[in-house]
A = this chain, B = another copy of it.
Amino acid sequence: MKSHKIFNDPVYGFIQVPYGTLFDLVEHPFFQRLRRIKQLSLTHYVYPGALHTRFHHALGALHLMRQTIATLRAKDIYISPEESEAVQIAILLHDIGHGPFSHTLEHTLIKVHHEELSLLFMEKLNEEFNGELALAIEIFKGSYHKPFLAQLVSSQLDMDRMDYLNRDSYFTGVSEGVIGYHRIIKMLTVHEGELVVEEKGIYSIERFLTARRLMYWQVYLHKTVLAAELMLIKIMERAKELIRTGHKLPAPSVLSYFLENRNLSSADFHAKRDELLQVFSRLDDTDIAAAVKEWQDNPDPTLSFLARGLANRRLFRLEFSYEPFVEEYVESIRKKVNETPGLPPSASEQLVIEGKETNTAYSASHDEIRILMKSGKVMPMSELSDSTVSPRMFTKYYLCYPKI
Interface of A toward B, CB cutoff 8 Å = 3, 6-11, 13-14, 27, 29, 32, 35-36, 44, 46-49, 51-53, 55-56, 59, 74, 170-176, 178-180, 182-183, 186, 203-204, 206-207, 210-211, 213-214, 217-218, 250, 252-254, 282, 284-287, 289-290, 293-294, 296, 311-313, 359, 386-388, 391-392, 394
Contacts and interface: CB of A to CB of B under 8 A. Distances in A.
B44 A48 contact: no
A386 B179 CA distance: 20
Given A8-B173, A9-B48, 7 more contacts: A3-B74, A13-B182, A51-B53, A176-B180, A282-B296, A285-B286, A388-B388
Question: How many copies of this chain does one complex carry?
Answer: 4
Contacts of A286: 285-286, 289-290, 293
B10 A387 contact: no
Contacts of A74: 3
Given A48-B35, A253-B294, A294-B252, A14 B182 contact: yes
Contacts of A387: 210, 213, 387-388, 391
B312 A29 contact: yes
A7 B282 CA distance: 34
A298 to B, nearest CB: 12
5 contacts: A8-B46, A29-B311, A175-B178, A250-B252, A285-B286
B48 A289 contact: no
A387 B207 CA distance: 13
A231 to B, nearest CB: 14
Nearest to A15: B48
Nearest to A252: B290
A304 B86 CA distance: 35
A171 B9 contact: no
B56 A49 contact: yes
A51 B48 contact: no
Nearest to A389: B387
A10 B172 contact: yes
Q: Which 10 A-B pairs have the closest CB atoms?
A: A10-B173, A51-B51, A286-B289, A290-B290, A388-B388, A29-B312, A203-B214, A386-B394, A48-B56, A210-B210
